[in-house]
Chains A and B, each alone.
Chain A
Amino acid sequence: MKTGIKILLFTAAACGIFVLCVSAGSVFISPFRIPEILSGGAGSVEYRILVDLRIPRILMALVVGASLSVSGVVFQAVLKNPLADPYTTGVSGGAAVGATVAIAFSMSYFLVALLAFGGSLCAVSFVYAVSRYRGLSGTALVLAGIALSVLLSSAVLLVFAFSRADYVHKALLWLMGDLSIAKYAVVMRMAVVSLLLTGLGFLYRRHLNIISFGDEFAHGLGVSRGDIVNLFWIASLLAAISVSLAGVIGFVGLLVPHVIRFMFGPDHSRLIPASALGGAVFLMGADTLGRVLVPPYDIPAGIITGFAGGLFFLVLVIRKGGAYT
Chain B
Amino acid sequence: MRIQWHAVIAPLVAAAALIIIYTGDDDGEQVCVPRNVRRVVSLSPSVTREIIDLGAEEMLAGVTSYHPPMKKKVPVVGTILHPNVETILSLGPDLVLYSEEDSAVQHAERLAAAGLCAVSLGRNRNFEEICANYLRIAELIGARDAGREKISRYRALLNVARVTEKRCTVAVFIAHTPLVAASEGSFVGEIIADSGGINVVKDTGIGYPILSAEFLIAVNPDVILSIMPGAAEFFLSLSGSAPGLRATEKGQVYTINERHLAYYTPGDYIAAVREIAALLKKVVKQDENRN
Contact = CB atoms under 8 A, between A and B. Distances in A.
A110 B25 contact: yes
17 contacts: A48-B114, A49-B90, A52-B113, A109-B109, A110-B22, A125-B11, A169-B81, A170-B81, A170-B104, A173-B82, A180-B107, A183-B25, A183-B113, A185-B25, A227-B2, A234-B10, A297-B82
Given A52-B115, A167-B104, A203-B1, A230 B7 contact: yes
B145 to A, nearest CB: 33
Given A170-B105, A204-B1, A180 B85 contact: yes
A296 B76 contact: yes
A299 to B, nearest CB: 9
B84 A26 contact: yes
Contacts of A180: 82, 85, 107, 110
Given A170-B105, A183-B113, A297 B86 contact: no
Contact of B77 (A25, A189, A226, A296): A296
Interface string A32-74: 0000000000100100110011100000000000000000000
Interface string B5-48: 10100110011011011101101000000000000000000000
B3 interface: yes
Interface in B211-253: none
A295 interface: yes
A233 B21 contact: no
Nearest to A204: B1
A200 interface: yes
A54 B87 CA distance: 12
B15 A121 contact: yes
B258 to A, nearest CB: 14
A53 B10 contact: no
Interface majority SS (helix, strand, loop, mixed), chain B: mixed
Interface stretch (B132-140, B162-170, B190-198, B202-210): B202-210
Contacts of B76: 296
Contact of A53 (B17, B79, B86): B86
Interface stretch (A157-165, A210-218, A263-271): A157-165
A210 B90 CA distance: 54
Given A161-B210, A233-B7, A296 B84 contact: yes
Interface string A98-122: 0000010010011001100110010
Contact of A244 (B10, B11, B18, B77): B18
Contact of B7 (A128, A178, A203): A128
B57 interface: no
A298 B22 CA distance: 26
A189 to B, nearest CB: 4
Interface string A172-214: 0100001011010110011001000000100110010000000
Range class of the B interface residue count: 35 or more
Contacts of B68: none
B179 interface: no
A314 interface: no
A184 B85 CA distance: 17
B85 to A, nearest CB: 6
The 3 closest A-B pairs by CB, nearest first: A296-B84, A296-B87, A189-B21
B89 interface: yes
Contact of A27 (B86, B104, B113): B86
A193 B23 CA distance: 14
Given A186-B21, A296-B77, A181 B90 contact: no
A53 B210 contact: no
Interface string B76-100: 1111011111110110100000000
Contacts of B53: none
Contacts of B104: 103, 106, 164, 166-167, 169-170
A166 B81 CA distance: 8
Most chain A CB atoms below 10 A, which of B1, B65, B77, B105: B105
B2 A224 contact: yes
A166 B24 CA distance: 29
B2 A48 contact: no
B101 interface: yes
Given A186-B21, A189-B20, A193-B17, 9 more contacts: A27-B86, A167-B104, A170-B81, A173-B82, A181-B109, A230-B7, A233-B10, A234-B10, A298-B84
